[in-house]
Chains A and B, each alone.
Chain A
Amino acid sequence: MKINNRIIVILVVAVFSLLVALALISHFFILSTFSDIEQKQAVADMQRVLTRLNDEVEDVAAICREWAQWDDTYSFVNDLNPGYVRSNLAEPSLFRNLKINYVLFFNSSGELVYSRGYNHDDGSIREVPPGLLAIVRDSILPGGSAEGVSGRRGYSLLDGQPVILAGYRITRSDLQGEPAGTLVMVRQLDPGRISEIAQQTDLDIMIRPVLPVKGSPGAPAGESFNGENDAIRITTLNASVIEADATITGIENTPTRILVSVQSSRLLYQQVQASVAYLALAIILLALVLIIVIRWPLKKYIVNPLLSLDSTIKDIGRTGEIFRQVTPGGDDEIVSLGNTLNRMLEEITRAQGETVASESKFRTLTETSLAGIFVYRKKILYANHAAEIQTGYSREELSCMDFTEIVHPDYRDRIRDLAEKVLRGDETNTNAEFKIIRKDGGERWIDSSAAPFDYEGEKALLAVRVDITERKRMEEALRINEEKFRALIENTPDIVFSADVTGIFTYVSPQVENYGFCAGDLVGKSALDFVFPDDWQVFGEHFVRTLEDGRARSTPFRILDRDQNLHWMEANFAVTRDREGVYTGLQGTCRDITERRKTLDAITLANRKLNLMYDITRHDILNKITILFGLIDMTHASSSTEEREQYLKEIGDAGQAIWRQISLTRDYQEVGVKSPRWNSVREVIAHAIANFSGSGVQIRSDVGTLEVYADPLFEKVMYNLVDNALRYGAKITTISFYHRISDKGLELVCEDDGVGIEAGSKEKIFERGFGNNTGLGLFLTREILMITGIAITEQGKPGNGARFVISLPRGTFRFSEQREHPDHETINNEENNHD
């Protein structure tokens, strides 16, 4: 709609609204107020009429009272004097002047003695109608009363015409004596009289009978009026007349009701209505004038400049010459608008320049991008050069294709659904990996991300697609390698682990479950929690130093498994780095070297023991050789045959000693040569005591399936214990082997019933040189056991036999799963004793 027309419409609507407001205001406020005034005026008019009618009643009553107190009247009732009639009742003009229509004289007995009626219209005398007598006897002379009700006055209806009645007792003028009867005068309110009253009050008056209850039997004809007595009802009859109605009650004991209506013209109301109409008309005319008068300056100063601006802007829009400027003159808001438009045009020009530059950059970027860039809705709208290389299709071919055509059928539905969701805004994660089929039929993996944007006025999708085929191949190769790696990790006996720079495990392979730990539970815990506390410092130092210098390290340490068994582990670890070469933690393996460690420790200890034994042996042999040399020299120097024989005997003893030493060396030459091993105690005892089959001593073995981790010379230990018992036990009859649980593990006991060991010798018996034989038996026994950390002590009571207790710490004993042997096994039975 044009601005001009809009202004006219606005003015018309404004005028119409004004008129509506005026109508509402006049209806609800102005006219309503005048209606109230009008009704109040009607009520006042009615009250004035009722007052006037009441004056009529009082007038009739005054005339009647005056006449009733005349002496002539008093006499007339008694004697019906004709002179009274001639002088007072014969002249109709008198009654016309008094406006009395009927005069009735009743004697003291209540009998009507004289009556006369006057027709004022024609001046004739007429009879009193019977209806009037009935009214009088129902009002002034009620119930046949002879004296009547003096002073009673009021209205009634006579033959449908309203009348005014008044009755007074007839008395002397001095009011002495008994009343002679009752005088009743009646004034008929005929149309003429009502007209007179109307003229006097300047009101249009109607007096009509009322039907008290509509339809009641015997009710006289007339208006119905439901209001209370003396109530005034206002009725607007039409636009020009308003009527006030009131009822007046008859004089009868059974009263009639008379309706008095006063109609008034509504001049004031009509004038106000006319004034409102004139005002409305004036407003309309004024509006028309305003429209005509205002439109010109509006057009000149506002519309035309705006149209000029509009024309210029349209022209710029049509030609696209946005560098043009609009040229408004003056300093008003339209000029400001023009200036603003000029700034906008400048801004648009600048933005357009930037857009062109941006588009140029976009083109350059897209054309040089290695990623395929597509714009599509259903069809492909744009594809860059990389898209051509990626798909094998030319841009012309792509522009005719549905964007899902190049998608591999396995992914086509998913990609189509995803594109639709992204376009609708239902999906925000636009990344997708899928395969495409190139023009040559080859399949390529694509990583695509898309975003909705406005393209040529409609929403489209901008997708960037990167060829990730090589990456996928690498990922697959990586996955295969990872599976291999995982299989390798999970099948190697070593524990593979990784930890961050604070020593918190980030991965632990399942082999850790061999030690009662759950691999998953260790992740997130400190590696030191896994290490035996005594080794925390060494392990921690290696850990820190590796993180400091980045060199791979190997460190032995111990762990306690869930059953509190100690295991030697060897950790080989190296630092891990991120791409920038920053250390991210350590990774490596843990190998259980418990067996190796035991073996190594045992061999080391065995070598030391062996060297010691060699040293002892050599020392002893050298001593004996020294003795031999000395004895030989002494033999040469001696001339005594006895001495020489003694020296020769001693030479023989020394040679014998040398032989025993060498024999001992042979027996113990295997110490430390072979690795410690698990020895079945039962079998070892059986082998060892086979050398004593003829000893006559009963040897009992109650060791079950016990196995001891010890040097292979463990059998020599058992041999020495039996040999020692037999050699020094004296009264010995039984040797028993059995095991028992101790605080630190298990104890293997060798017990006999011989003389036992003296209290002061319990420890000396394990020293070298103690005893009567080589002095090395128990010494070497202890040394052999110590190779694997086993201790031996003598705990028997002197006189009650010896009890050698071999203490087996955890890890040096076990019970094999072989068949159970008899709980008690007697190795040397009675038969053997006799062999």
Chain B
Amino acid sequence: MTEVKILIVEDDDVLARIITWRLTNLGYLVCGRASSGAEAMDLLVREQPDLILMDINIKGDIDGIETTSRIKKEFRLPVVYLTSHSDGPTLERAKATNPDGFVLKPFKDHDLRVAVEMARKK
């Protein structure tokens, strides 16, 4: 089976390490971790992941939703949001970018695997 390369966009170091640990345990290849939108775009070009796990609140001038919008336009890659936001406006903004899945915090391995697989099947 071909390994699935996943790029993690998360500004919290500890959380990024936990996500990496969980994805690795699930058999996915974490090809990189970015803390901001600009860093994510750089890694995207360099690592060419199969899927991106995107936190909405990240460092930098653009948030995760804006970064996803750019990725969708330029690379047409599946993006799964990692978010603790459940308020209407944020979710509406996120949905407008046609994401490939949502993973609501807090999450477990199963939540991650379902979201990734669902995104890959699209």
Which residues of chain A have a CB within 8 Å of any CB of chain B? 611, 615, 618-619, 622-623, 625-631, 633-634, 637, 650, 654
Q: Is the interface of A mostly helix, strand, loop or mixed?
A: helix
Cα–Cα, bound, A403→B106 (Å): 107
CB-CB contacts below 8 Å: B69-122 with A: 84-85, 87, 105-109
Cα–Cα, bound, A203→B15 (Å): 185
A626 contacts B21, CB within 8 Å?
no
B106 contacts A622, CB within 8 Å?
yes
Quick one: given A626-B106, A629-B106, are A654 and B14 in contact (CB under 8 Å)? yes
Quick one: given A615-B85, A618-B84, are A623 and B15 in contact (CB under 8 Å)? yes
| Cross-chain contact of B107 among A619, A626, A628, A650 (Cβ < 8 A) | A626
Residues of chain B within 8 A (CB-CB) of A619 are 57, 84-85
B5 at interface (Cβ–Cβ under 8 A)? no
Residues of chain B within 8 A (CB-CB) of A650 are 14
Residues of chain A within 8 A (CB-CB) of B106 are 622, 625-626, 628-629
Q: Distance in Å from the Cβ of B92 to the closest Cβ of chain A? A: 14
Q: Distance in Å from the Cβ of B107 to the closest Cβ of chain A? A: 6
CB-CB contacts below 8 Å: B11-30 with A: 12, 14-15, 18-19, 21-22, 25
Q: Distance in Å from the Cβ of B58 to the closest Cβ of chain A? A: 11
Contacts A623-B105, A626-B107 given; 10 further ones with Cβ under 8 A? A611-B87, A615-B85, A618-B84, A626-B15, A627-B14, A630-B18, A631-B18, A633-B108, A633-B109, A654-B14
Residues of chain B within 8 A (CB-CB) of A630 are 14-15, 18-19, 21-22
Residue of A nearest to B14 (CB): A627
A629, A630, A634, most chain B CB atoms within 10 A? A630
B18 contacts A626, CB within 8 Å?
yes
A625 contacts B18, CB within 8 Å?
no
Q: Distance in Å from the Cβ of B84 to the closest Cβ of chain A? A: 3
Cα–Cα, bound, A615→B106 (Å): 15
Q: Distance in Å from the Cβ of B93 to the closest Cβ of chain A? A: 13
A626 contacts B105, CB within 8 Å?
yes
B108 contacts A615, CB within 8 Å?
no
Q: Number of B residues whose C-beta is below 8 Å from A?
A: 17
Quick one: given A615-B85, A618-B84, are A627 and B108 in contact (CB under 8 Å)? no
Q: Distance in Å from the Cβ of B112 to the closest Cβ of chain A? A: 10
B105 contacts A625, CB within 8 Å?
yes
Cα–Cα, bound, A634→B22 (Å): 9
Cα–Cα, bound, A296→B63 (Å): 142
List 21 A–B pairs whose Cβ atoms lie within 8 Å, in order of A's numbering.
A611-B87, A615-B85, A615-B87, A618-B84, A619-B57, A622-B84, A622-B105, A622-B106, A625-B105, A625-B106, A626-B106, A627-B12, A627-B14, A627-B18, A629-B106, A630-B14, A630-B22, A631-B18, A633-B108, A633-B109, A650-B14
- Please give me the 5 A-B residue pairs with the lowest Cβ-Cβ distance, nearest first: A630-B18, A622-B84, A626-B106, A626-B105, A622-B105
Q: Distance in Å from the Cβ of B102 to the closest Cβ of chain A? A: 13
Residues of chain A within 8 A (CB-CB) of B84 are 618-619, 622-623, 626
A629 contacts B12, CB within 8 Å?
no
Residues of chain A within 8 A (CB-CB) of B108 are 629, 633
A633, A637, A654, most chain B CB atoms within 10 A? A633
Q: Distance in Å from the Cβ of B23 to the closest Cβ of chain A? A: 11
A623, A633, A634, most chain B CB atoms within 10 A? A623
Q: Distance in Å from the Cβ of B2 to the closest Cβ of chain A? A: 25
Q: Distance in Å from the Cβ of B55 to the closest Cβ of chain A? A: 9
Q: Distance in Å from the Cβ of A513 to the closest Cβ of chain B? A: 47
Quick one: given A626-B106, A626-B107, are A634 and B18 in contact (CB under 8 Å)? yes
Residue of A nearest to B10 (CB): A623
Cα–Cα, bound, A631→B17 (Å): 10
Residue of B nearest to A768 (CB): B57
Residue of B nearest to A618 (CB): B84
Residues of chain B within 8 A (CB-CB) of A631 are 14, 18
Q: Distance in Å from the Cβ of B36 to the closest Cβ of chain A? A: 13
Cα–Cα, bound, A791→B110 (Å): 47
Cα–Cα, bound, A618→B90 (Å): 14
Residue of A nearest to B90 (CB): A615
Cα–Cα, bound, A629→B25 (Å): 15
Q: Distance in Å from the Cβ of B62 to the closest Cβ of chain A? A: 14
Q: Distance in Å from the Cβ of A662 to the closest Cβ of chain B? A: 15
Cα–Cα, bound, A625→B107 (Å): 9
Residues of chain A within 8 A (CB-CB) of B109 are 633
Q: Distance in Å from the Cβ of A398 to the closest Cβ of chain B? A: 90
Cα–Cα, bound, A637→B22 (Å): 11
Cα–Cα, bound, A615→B85 (Å): 7
Cα–Cα, bound, A654→B14 (Å): 10
Cα–Cα, bound, A611→B21 (Å): 33
